[in-house]
């Protein structure tokens, strides 16, 4: 089956600064004080969050604690299982290919075989086999490559693909329904949703944070995720501007979006987009993604030079990326 696709490396970014908030909002104080997320103190909470983030209040925020660096780097980049191979130079009777147009993909799928999509890329310089979160494998063909060699590449790495699928099956999954007693990833910790005992209005706790909810029965996910997104739109842009100043990078906008397949992106014009779910990760992982996008302003690729720049500003990037690989499934990525 052949299907047309359109892929873009950038998405329209539409949020420069957090809008005025009329719904419950609060940021956690670095001192560990517990604050309730409520509509009646949302303005003060927003103001306090910026004071906390930039160190203008009584409690100056501390640098993000780094997770331990593993003894060896993860076997993948970009948060998904993937393996690459450089195509041989043209000639020697090699098929130079044109069986797939640049904007088409070809899918192999049978009842007993998982789906593999063969996809030609205008930008790729290597054959690449990628396993997506949904179990579909993508075989990328570079412009000077051939479909025949791509299939041989896939056949050569069948064992790797099976191991990657096995790793995927045992990765932890987040609770589908967020009810009292369920565990949710919040600020890097897997925390139990507990019923708060204080006050008359229903509230739940995640660690030291208290969130107001409409009711305690049923699925709390929509309400809690709404709180998370409001906080992300305050904290993530502020932290990005702060790290941009530290690294001497010039940015124009920071947007927080509901991305389903990536943690962040940037444009050559200095517009950075971040996934709101970064607020659920450890601070060091959040900072790594921000550094990652900032370094793309110097190198709009994933070359050795790019990773060297990342290493300069974020030496623990391997540990952060490994955390994302192991725990991204808890966040639905």
For the stretch 30-76, pLDDT in tens is 444 444 544 344 444 444 444 444 444 444 334 343 333 333 333 33
- From 280, 281, 271, select the one nearest 244 (Cα to Cα): 271
Average pLDDT over residues 212-225: 92
Average pLDDT over residues 237-251: 97
C-beta pairs of 154-161 under 8 Å, 24+ apart in sequence: 154/116, 154/129, 157/83, 157/129, 160/83, 160/129, 161/129, 161/131, 161/137
Same domain, 131 and 185: no
Same domain, 141 and 183: no
pLDDT tens sequence across 125-134: 889 998 877 7
Same domain, 286 and 145: no
What is the pLDDT at residue 82?
Answer: 56
Task: Pick the more confident residue, 166 or 282.
Answer: 282
CB 241 within 8 A of CB 253: no
Same domain, 157 and 190: no
User: Rounded distance, CA 38 to CA 258, Å?
Assistant: 23
Judged against a pLDDT cut of 60, whether residue 164 lies above it is answered with yes
Domain of residue 308: give its range: 36-62+177-331
Same domain, 234 and 132: no
pLDDT tens sequence across 177-202: 899 999 999 999 999 999 998 677 89
CB 208 within 8 A of CB 32: yes
Last residue of one domain, picked from the residues 146, 170, 194: 170
Q: How many domains does the chain have?
A: 2
The reported pTM is 0.57
Confidence of residue 263 (pLDDT cuts 50, 70, 90): very high
296 assigned to some structural domain: yes
**CATH number, domain containing residue 57:** 3.30.2010.10
Same domain, 198 and 324: yes
For the chain, what is the mean pLDDT? 74
What is the pLDDT at residue 125?
Answer: 86
Q: Which residue's entry shows tokens 């393996």?
A: 83
Same domain, 156 and 182: no
- From 322, 331, 320, select the one nearest 65 (Cα to Cα): 320
Same domain, 162 and 259: no
What is the pLDDT at residue 33?
Answer: 46
Task: Tokens for 145, please give them.
Answer: 């490559």
Same domain, 164 and 288: no
Q: What percent of the chain has pLDDT over 70?
A: 63
Task: Tokens for 232, please give them.
Answer: 């992300």
What is the pLDDT at residue 235?
Answer: 98
Average pLDDT over residues 231-259: 96
Q: What residues contact residue 107 under an 8 Å CB cut-off, 6+ apart?
A: 1, 3, 115, 116, 117, 118
Q: Which residue's entry shows tokens 């502020």?
A: 238
User: Rounded distance, CA 41 to CA 23, Å?
Assistant: 10
Distances (CA, A) of 117 to 2, 109, 130: 10, 9, 10
User: Rounded distance, CA 76 to CA 93, Å?
Assistant: 33
Judged against a pLDDT cut of 80, whether residue 288 lies above it is answered with yes
User: Rounded distance, CA 24 to CA 37, Å?
Assistant: 5
Confidence of residue 98 (pLDDT cuts 50, 70, 90): very low
- From 139, 120, 119, select the one nearest 129 (Cα to Cα): 139
Same domain, 181 and 271: yes
Q: Which of 22-31, 188-197, 271-280 has the highest mean pLDDT?
A: 271-280
């Amino acid at each position: 089956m052949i299907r047309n696709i359109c892929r873009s490396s950038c998405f329209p970014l539409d949020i420069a600064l957090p809008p005025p908030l009329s719904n419950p909002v609060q940021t956690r104080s670095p001192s560990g004080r517990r604050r309730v997320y409520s509509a009646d103190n949302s303005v003060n909470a927003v103001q306090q969050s910026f004071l906390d983030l930039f160190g203008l209040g009584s409690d100056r925020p501390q640098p993000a604690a780094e997770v331990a660096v593993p003894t060896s780097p993860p076997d993948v980049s970009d948060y998904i299982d993937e393996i690459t191979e450089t195509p041989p130079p043209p000639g020697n009777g090699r098929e130079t290919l044109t069986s797939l147009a640049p904007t088409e993909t070809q899918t192999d799928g049978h009842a007993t075989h998982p789906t593999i999509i063969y996809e030609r890329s205008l930008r790729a310089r290597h054959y690449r086999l990628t396993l997506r979160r949904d179990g579909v494998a993508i075989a990328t063909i570079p412009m000077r490559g051939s479909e025949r060699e791509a299939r041989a590449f896939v056949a050569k790495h069948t064992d790797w693909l099976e191991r990657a699928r096995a790793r995927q099956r045992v990765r932890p999954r987040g609770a589908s329904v967020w009810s009292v007693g369920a565990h949710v990833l919040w600020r890097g910790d897997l925390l139990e949703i507990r019923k708060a005992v204080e006050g008359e209005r229903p509230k739940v706790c995640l660690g030291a944070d208290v969130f107001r909810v409409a009711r305690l029965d049923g699925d709390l996910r929509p309400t809690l995720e709404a709180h998370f997104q409001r906080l992300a739109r305050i904290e993530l842009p502020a932290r990005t501007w702060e790290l941009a100043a530290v690294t001497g990078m010039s940015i124009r906008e920071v947007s927080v979006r509901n991305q389903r397949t990536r943690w962040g992106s940037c444009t050559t014009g200095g517009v950075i987009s971040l996934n709101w779910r970064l607020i659920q990760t450890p601070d060091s992982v959040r900072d790594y993604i921000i550094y990652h996008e900032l370094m793309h302003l110097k190198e709009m690729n994933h070359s050795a030079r790019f990773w060297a720049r990342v290493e300069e500003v974020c030496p623990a990037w391997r540990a952060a990326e490994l955390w994302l690989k192991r725990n991204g499934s808890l966040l639905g990525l």
